[in-house]
Chains A and B, each alone.
Chain A
Amino acid sequence: MNNQNIVIIDYDAGNVQSVKYALERIGISAELSDDVDKITKADKVIFPGVGEAAWAMKMLQKNGLDELIPQLKQPVLGICLGMQLMCESSEESHTKGLGIFPVKTLKFPAENKVPHMGWNQIKELKGELLNSITTESFVYFVHSYFVPVNEYTVAETNYIRNFSASLQRDNFYACQFHPEKSGDIGQEILSNFVKL
């Protein structure tokens, strides 16, 4: 698995370098790129994201990545804002998403502190990405918007609401949490993705 061609989509939305470092810690080298051709030819694609949804979508549109990502056939892993952008829309600045998951990203109601920041537990785990992970393991979250539980949910977390900690549909995988910052558990999840 070490000679796979893994591309991390680098579209000027957040700390993509830490995803690359996390892969290096499990012995995988990955390339940062916003090049349509390179992304299309990759064995696997990671779609990270930190920041504001409308601005991030604009960055994707600049290179036609908004058209490309939903067409990809290889395993794709969206992280945090990347996962939210893979949905139909986000309440954040009323942004239209990529529509891979037919569900809307909503803002957390202010019933508790927002952002949801820190280590929280994942449960109801399903699918190849998470099936080696023990239920109620802790992973690291930082987000103010959430994807409700839906038919593509493969992990749930509770904060204010039960929400989707992870999604999967065909070759598209996504985590609301940051596997690259989630200690040993996070590294195992990234390994699982690399092994797909």
Chain B
Amino acid sequence: MLAKRIIPCLDIKDGRTVKGINFVDLKDAGDPVELAKAYAEQGADELVFLDITATHEKRKPLLDMVAKVAQVLNIPFTVGGGISSCDDVDQILKAGADKIAINSSAIRNPELITELANRFGSQCVVLAVDARETEKDWEVYLNGGRIPTGIKLYDWLLEAERRGAGEILFTSMNHDGTKNGFANKALAKISQMINIPLIASGGAGCMKDFADTFTEGKADAALAASVFHYKEIEIPELKQFLRENNIPVRL
């Protein structure tokens, strides 16, 4: 049976992990390679690295990091953040990443999705989207959720799928950081609307939130950062909990 995936997300700046992380066994908690290995050993199914380096000249540290992670990691990983061209993607995939995630650049230039899918295959193109629910509808935001676009979420996801995105990573800005659970109503609607895998993001606070997003939200995978980084939730326990709740997981 296809397992539901648990995906820790690591923020990267200048090739280093950003958040204050308290892994006791790590020599260097800022080293993405050490952290990636630790997560893989705990049973993470995939990892996402989100590059938040502001400037474009800082690309080399990221590529070096991707190559080092690829050498040690025996599970798949995705790299996102600031990717805006086929050349960016080519470099990151050649360095050893399995998938790339695009967000703002795809909104500015939807043709980018088509180009990437044709050149590298849909399987490596993750369309990440940040959206906020207003009174009427869900609206897509740019630049890490700072700039509203006026684009309706569901229209955008259907277009992304039609253009060849292989997977959707949906972050609800209403839920992100609240620790009150994922946006399960919207997730369930998206999951039934599209025919590609859906990763839920934003709102994880406890183990039940994960169970709910797989059952009520019909998500294929769930992504979280702080609950894993600060060890509020341990992946082996989380997976055991999910299995006890009849959710298929890889143990």
Binding site for B on A (CB under 8 A): 14-15, 17-18, 21-22, 24-25, 50-52, 110, 113-121, 138, 140, 142-144, 158-159, 178, 180-184, 186-187
Contacts and interface: CB of A to CB of B under 8 A. Distances in A.
Interface of B: 1-3, 5, 40, 45, 70-72, 74-76, 93-98, 120-124, 166-167, 194-197, 220-221, 250
A118 B3 contact: yes
A159 B124 contact: no
B39 to A, nearest CB: 12
B170 to A, nearest CB: 14
A21 B70 contact: yes
Contacts of B195: 110, 113-114
B250 A138 contact: yes
A18 to B, nearest CB: 6
Contacts of B3: 118-120, 138
B71 A21 contact: yes
Contacts of A178: 76
Tell me whether chain A's interface is mostly helix, strand or loop, or mixed: mixed
B75 A142 contact: no
B75 A183 contact: yes
B1 A140 contact: no
A17 B70 contact: yes
Contacts of A14: 121
B2 A159 contact: yes
Given A15-B96, A142-B123, A117 B74 contact: no
A18 B96 contact: yes
A181 B74 contact: yes
B197 A120 contact: no
Nearest to B45: A119
Contacts of B71: 21, 24-25
A138 to B, nearest CB: 4
B74 A17 contact: no
Nearest to B167: A117
Query: Of A15, A158, A180, which is in contact with the most chain B CB atoms at under 10 Å from its CB?
Result: A15
Contact of A118 (B5, B74, B95): B5
Q: Sorted from nearest, which 5 A-B pairs have the closest CB atoms?
A: A138-B250, A119-B3, A119-B250, A51-B121, A142-B123
A52 B40 CA distance: 29
A15 B1 contact: no
B96 A118 contact: no
23 contacts: A15-B97, A17-B94, A17-B95, A17-B96, A18-B96, A18-B98, A21-B71, A50-B123, A51-B120, A51-B121, A52-B121, A110-B195, A113-B197, A113-B220, A114-B195, A117-B167, A117-B197, A121-B1, A142-B123, A182-B75, A183-B75, A184-B74, A187-B74
Contacts of A180: 74
Contacts of B45: 118-119
Contacts of A21: 70-71, 96
A186 B74 contact: yes
Given A15-B96, A181-B74, A115 B123 contact: yes
Contacts of B124: 50
Contact of B76 (A51, A114, A115, A181): A181
Contacts of B74: 22, 25, 180-184, 186-187
A25 B74 CA distance: 9
Query: Of B2, B93, B97, which is in contact with the most chain A CB atoms at under 10 Å from its CB?
Result: B2
Given A118-B5, A158-B1, A25 B72 contact: yes
